Amino acid sequence: MRIVQYRQGTQKLWAPGAGGFHGGVMRRVTGALTVAILSAAATLLGACHRSSSTQSTSPIAEGPLPAGNHALPPAAAAPADDGNWVMPGKNYAATRFSALSQITPANVSKLALAFTFSTATNKGFEAPPLVVNGTMYVITPYPNYLYALDLTKPGAPTKWTFKPKPAAASQGVACCDVVNRGAVYDNGKIFFNTLDGQTFAVDANSGQMAWHTQLGDIQRGETITMAPLVANGKVLVGNSGGEMGVRGWIAALDEGSGKVAWKAYNTGPDKDVLIGARFKPFYPMDQGKDLGVKSWPPDAWKIGGATTWGWLAYDPETHLVFYGTSNPGPWNADQRPGDNKWSAGLFARDVNTGEAVWHYQTTPHDLFDYDDVNEIILADIPWGSGRRPVLLRPDRNGYFYVMDRRTGQVLSATPYGYINSTKGVDLKSGRLIYVADKEPKAGRVTRDICPASPGAKDWNPAAFSPVTGLVYIPHNNLCMDFSGVQANYISGTPYVGADVKMYAGPGGNRGVFTAWDPVNRRPVWEIKEDLPLWSPALATAGNLVFYGTMDGWFKAVDARNGKLLWQFKAGSGIIGQPISYRGPDGRQYIAVVAGVGGWAGAIVSAQMDPHDPTGALGFANAVKDLPMKTTAGGILYVFTVPR
C-alpha cells in the first residue's frame, strides 16, 4: 500500500468569480499542489493535469485540514446519530458516516472479532447490514435471503429468516452477478428488492411478509439489484438491465400497501418521464419538448437503457429525491446518434408526485458506458457569507461534481483520477468535452481509453465526514481497448455491441483510495491499491475510515493522513459496505460482509476462464490474477475493541 499526500492548496472554489477555468473547461488545479509519490517511479497522470511529482521515501506532512469552514451535511437529511444503521447511506444525505467515536486511531489496533455469521451464499455481496434496536438484518445476493440476528445474545443467534424465493430464471438475465445492494428499515418494516423484480416489505419483529409487489419483467431482461429508499411514505425503486435493452424507470410504492403511487420512465415522451410545467433544467442542452424521443433514432428510446440501478438521496426540506440514470443501450454509440436523453444523467423529482424538477445530463451520447448511478451526497458548502446547498458526486466519468441541488447547476467538475477520454466539463454549457482520438469508430480498435467502462469509480459509494470535511473515495485506475460491433435486439438477451479489454492504468496499480477536499477541489491524500476497489467506504467520528479490498483485506486508516492503522484478512474478497453501530452493551462495533463478486469479481464468483480477455464485458482481463488471490464466500464479520 502506497500513500500519496498533498500539501494544502491556496485556491478555493467558493469565492464567487474564482479562477481555475480555461475556455470554460475546468481542469485540476496545478499550481497549488506538490505531490510526493512513495513508489520508486512517479506515476504519469497526464490528462489529470497534476503538478510535477517528486520521489520520497516518506509521506509529506499534510497541510492543515478544514476546520469549521468546510462542507457539512444538512441537518434535516442527516439527523443526530442514534447508534442504529437503518439504510445503506446511513441517512438521506448519504454520508455513510457514523458519529460513534469509541474506536479511534489510538485503540483501533486492538480491534478484534466479536462474532461471525455465514450467509449460505457465495456470490458478490455488496449490501451493508442494517442494525435497528438490538437486531441486525442481513440481505444476501440471490436468492435474497433476509436474516435477523439477535445482538442482545452471545454470538448473535438467528431470530428468523425470510426466504422470498425469487424466480431462478432471473439469474440468467443479470448483467453483472446476482448482487443485491441492500435493504432499508422504516416504521417497523424491512424493505428490499429481489433479483426477479419484486419489492418486499417484511415485519421487522416477526419476519412475516407485510406485502410484495412485482415491478420488473425478467422476460424483457429486467432485474432489480438496487437498494430501495423510503421517504415521505414512498418506497422508491428502479430497474436494472441497461445491457439487456430494457427501458429504465423509477417507481414509488405506497409504504403501507405496496401499491404503485407513481412511475416515471427515464426515456420517451415527456408525459412518460413525468416532465411538465415544473421541469426547469439549468442548461439549454436539457431544455426542450420530448427530448427523450427526439435525441434518439426512431423507437431506439424504447430499448435504450437509462435504468435506475444505483443510489438515491433525499432532501426533506424540498421533498426532492435525487437519482442517476445508467448508460444508454447499446454500448455501440454509432447505433444511437444523438444525446440519448435522459440516460447517463441526474434527475431531481418531487417525491410525492414523481414530477421532474430538473435534470442534468452528465455524459451526453455516452461512448464508454459511463453510467451516472453513483452516490449523491447532500452537503451545504461555504459560499460568500453563508452556505449553498449542493450535491457532491464522484462520477463514473472521472470528475468530482459539485452541483447546486436546487437547480442542477454545475459549480465545479474536477478530475479525481486519471482521464484521457475527455478534456473537461464546459461550465457554461454543462457539456462533457470528448477527446476525438478516443472516440470509438466502426472497424477499428480504439486503444488506451481511460477510465475504462467501470469508470474512475463504479457503484461503490464514498463516505463523507463532517469532522474533516473530506469525501473518502474508493475507486479504480483502469483503462481499456474498445471496439464497437453491431448489436441486434432480442428481448431478454444481451444488447451491448462492444468488444472490450480492460487493464491497469498508469502506474500499474488498479485501485486508489482518495481523501478529497470538495471545497478546495483537491486530493488531501491517496492510497494506491493493487486491485480495483469495489468496496464502499465508512467514515467515523473517531477519525477513522474503513474499506475492503478484493483480495480480502479489511482496513482502517487514519482519516486525516491515510496511515494504515489496522487490517484483517477475511476469507473472501470484500466488495460489501462496512457499517458502524452501537451494540446493546453500549460499545461501538464495525461490521462488514466478505463475498467477492459483482462485475469486478465475477471471474471468481462465476468461475470464469482467466484466459478469456473478453470475460465479464472485458473486466476479467483486468483481474485475471484474482482467482489466485481469493475465493468465493459470504461471511459476516463483526469487530469491536475488547474491554
Q: What is the dihedral of CA 88, 93, 95, 97, to 10 degrees?
A: -80
Query: How far, in Å, CA of 275 to CA of 307, rounded?
Result: 17
Query: How far, in Å, CA of 279 to CA of 421, rounded?
Result: 31
CB neighbours of residue 642 within 10 Å = 9
Of 144, 327, 332, 420, the active-site residue reads 327
**Averaged pLDDT of the chain:** 91
pLDDT in tens, 178-199: 999 999 999 999 999 999 999 9
Residue 610 pLDDT level (bands cut at 50, 70, 90): very high
- Look at residue 280 in the predicted model and tell me its pLDDT: 98
566 or 24, which is more confident? 566
pLDDT in tens, 428-465: 999 999 999 999 988 899 999 999 999 999 999 999 99
CB neighbours of residue 486 within 10 Å = 10
Query: Is the per-residue pLDDT at 44 higher than 70?
Result: no
Query: Which of 233, 252, 229 shows the shortest CA–CA distance to 88?
Result: 229
pLDDT in tens, 87-113: 999 999 999 999 999 999 999 999 999
Of 186, 272, 369, 371, the active-site residue reads 369
Query: Is the per-residue pLDDT at 322 higher than 50?
Result: yes
243 is catalytic: yes
Query: Which of 501, 505, 512 shows the shortest CA–CA distance to 478?
Result: 505
- Phi and psi at residue 162, to the nearest 5°: -110, 125
| Over residues 146-161, mean pLDDT | 98
327 is catalytic: yes
CB neighbours of residue 611 within 10 Å = 9
- Look at residue 21 in the predicted model and tell me its pLDDT: 30
pTM: 0.92
CB neighbours of residue 32 within 10 Å = 18
Of 177, 196, 222, 243, the active-site residue reads 243
| Over residues 573-598, mean pLDDT | 98
For the chain, state the CA radius of gyration. Answer: 22
Query: Is the per-residue pLDDT at 7 higher than 80?
Result: no
Query: Is the per-residue pLDDT at 354 higher than 70?
Result: yes
Share of the chain above pLDDT 70, in %: 90
**Which of 61-65, 451-455, 624-628, 629-633 is least confident?**
61-65
Query: Is the per-residue pLDDT at 380 higher than 50?
Result: yes
Q: Give the chain's domain count.
A: 1
Query: How far, in Å, CA of 551 to CA of 546, rounded?
Result: 15
Q: Is 442 exposed, middle or buried (0-12, 13-18, 19+ CB in 10 A)?
A: exposed
Query: Is the per-residue pLDDT at 53 higher than 90?
Result: no
Query: Is the per-residue pLDDT at 23 higher than 90?
Result: no
Share of the chain above pLDDT 90, in %: 88
Query: Is the per-residue pLDDT at 52 higher than 70?
Result: no
315 is catalytic: no
Domain that holds residue 383: 2-640
Query: How far, in Å, CA of 281 to CA of 557, rounded?
Result: 40
Query: Is the per-residue pLDDT at 50 higher than 50?
Result: no
Residue 69 pLDDT level (bands cut at 50, 70, 90): confident
Cα separations in angstroms, 538 against 97, 181, 249, 462, 593: 6, 15, 29, 8, 13
- Look at residue 4 in the predicted model and tell me its pLDDT: 74
Query: Is the per-residue pLDDT at 391 higher than 90?
Result: yes
- Look at residue 29 in the predicted model and tell me its pLDDT: 31
Query: Is the per-residue pLDDT at 12 higher than 50?
Result: no
Whether 602 contacts 176, CB under 8 Å: yes
Q: What contacts 542, CB < 8 A, 6 or more positions away? A: 100, 101, 102, 103, 104, 105, 108, 588
The CATH number for 312's domain is 2.140.10.10
Reduce the DSSP state of residue 602 to 3 states and report it: helix
Query: Is the per-residue pLDDT at 38 higher than 90?
Result: no
Query: How far, in Å, CA of 95 to CA of 483, rounded?
Result: 38
**Which of 37-41, 190-194, 398-402, 445-449 is least confident?**
37-41
- Look at residue 68 in the predicted model and tell me its pLDDT: 64
